[in-house]
């Protein structure tokens, strides 16, 4: 579905990705793990074709989506036509809109039955249903995180990119979030998951890649990476 070949990306003159290669098959959950500043968010922003200054400039390599290069694809077409959606770090819900308005707005690419999808999202996140009329900026951090994922579901994407979806969630809500992602994947959604919580991400994912200062330094099935002594020491707190 997605093939990233020797991708290089820079912020101004500073190269942040030094030739990153990885692939994602349809129906997979693939996780990118790595330390702070490794280039995980940069990779997701480059895939979405987001533009500088917040996002990097792609300076080399290529990204293929279903076999076609997407380097010239405009960001709105990445969402609307290729049906890739990013839930960015820090959520970015519309603070002055209600929960239900946030969700409905996200359905602009969705030519299907938005009402049905809304019910589906409320089924996944009953907390959002309880707070349907509440303004986005008055939701708790965890509720905003659910709303951000709910918006992605409303967009009917086929490839979902998640940047730290567990950030700020209590252990119970984190567990629920991961269970929801597993459920969405079972229903056919392909997911690229960036996570600080590498252990949980590797348990959930079919495969994983380890990024270190802009390069892929290890890859394997979630299980293999969880069992690897080097990965354990460097990224999983040594246990």
Ligand X SMILES: Nc1ncnc2c1ncn2[C@@H]1O[C@H](COP(=O)(O)OP(=O)(O)OP(=O)(O)O)[C@@H](O)[C@H]1O
Interface residues with ligand X (CB under 6 A) are 11, 16, 34, 36-42, 53-54, 89, 196
DSSP state of 228: -
42 interface partner picked from Mg ion, ligand X, none, CB below 5 to 8 A per type: ligand X
CA–CA distance, 21 with 4 (Å, rounded to integer): 5
Task: Work out how close the CB of 195 gets to Mg ion at its nearest, in angstroms, rounded to a whole number.
Answer: 10
35/158 with CB nearer ligand X: 35
Contact 162, 151 (CB under 8 A): no
Q: Which residues contact 211 (CB under 8 A, 6 or more apart)?
A: 20, 32, 33, 34, 38, 39, 40, 43, 217
80/88 with CB nearer Mg ion: 88
Task: Work out how close the CB of 225 gets to Mg ion at its nearest, in angstroms, rounded to a whole number.
Answer: 19
Contact 214, 20 (CB under 8 A): yes
91/131 with CB nearer ligand X: 91
40/49 with CB nearer ligand X: 40
32/128 with CB nearer ligand X: 32
| Cis-peptide into 53, omega within 30 deg | yes
126 interface partner picked from Mg ion, ligand X, none, CB below 5 to 8 A per type: none
Task: Work out how close the CB of 42 gets to ligand X at its nearest, in angstroms, rounded to a whole number.
Answer: 3
What share of residues in the chain are helix, strand, coil (percent, to 5)? 40, 30, 35
CA–CA distance, 122 with 192 (Å, rounded to integer): 23
Task: Work out how close the CB of 217 gets to ligand X at its nearest, in angstroms, rounded to a whole number.
Answer: 13
What is the binding site for Mg ion (CB under 5 A)?
A: 41
Cβ neighbour number for residue 132 with a 10 Å cutoff:
13
Task: Work out how close the CB of 139 gets to ligand X at its nearest, in angstroms, rounded to a whole number.
Answer: 22
62 interface partner picked from ligand X, Mg ion, none, CB below 5 to 8 A per type: none
40/151 with CB nearer ligand X: 40
Task: Work out how close the CB of 41 gets to Mg ion at its nearest, in angstroms, rounded to a whole number.
Answer: 3
Contact 154, 117 (CB under 8 A): yes
34 interface partner picked from Mg ion, ligand X, none, CB below 5 to 8 A per type: ligand X
15 interface partner picked from ligand X, Mg ion, none, CB below 5 to 8 A per type: none
CA–CA distance, 71 with 58 (Å, rounded to integer): 8
- Per the structure block, which two tokens stand in for 56? 């990097």
């Amino acid at each position: 579905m997605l093939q990233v070949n020797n991708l290089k990306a820079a912020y101004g003159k500073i190269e942040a990705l030094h030739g990153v290669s990885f692939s994602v098959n349809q129906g997979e959950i693939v996780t990118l793990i790595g330390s702070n500043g490794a280039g995980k968010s940069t990779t997701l922003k480059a895939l979405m074709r987001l533009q500088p200054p917040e996002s990097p400039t792609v300076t080399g390599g290529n990204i293929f989506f279903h076999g076609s290069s997407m380097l010239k694809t405009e960001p709105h077409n990445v969402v609307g036509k290729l049906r890739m959606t990013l839930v960015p770090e820090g959520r970015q819900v519309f603070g002055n809109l209600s929960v239900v308005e946030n969700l409905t707005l996200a359905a602009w690419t969705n030519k299907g039955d938005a009402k049905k999808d809304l019910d589906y999202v409320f089924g996944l996140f009953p907390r959002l249903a309880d707070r349907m009329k509440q303004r986005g900026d008055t939701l708790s951090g965890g509720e905003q995180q659910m709303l951000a994922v709910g918006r992605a579901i409303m967009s009917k994407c086929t490839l979902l990119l998640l940047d730290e979806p567990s950030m700020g969630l209590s252990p119970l809500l984190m567990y629920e979030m991961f269970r929801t992602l597993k459920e969405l994947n079972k229903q056919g959604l392909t997911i690229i998951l960036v996570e600080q919580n590498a252990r949980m991400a590797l348990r959930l994912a079919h495969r994983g890649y380890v990024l270190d200062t802009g390069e892929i330094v290890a890859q394997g099935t979630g299980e293999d990476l969880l069992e690897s002594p080097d990965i354990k020491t460097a990224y999983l707190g040594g246990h």
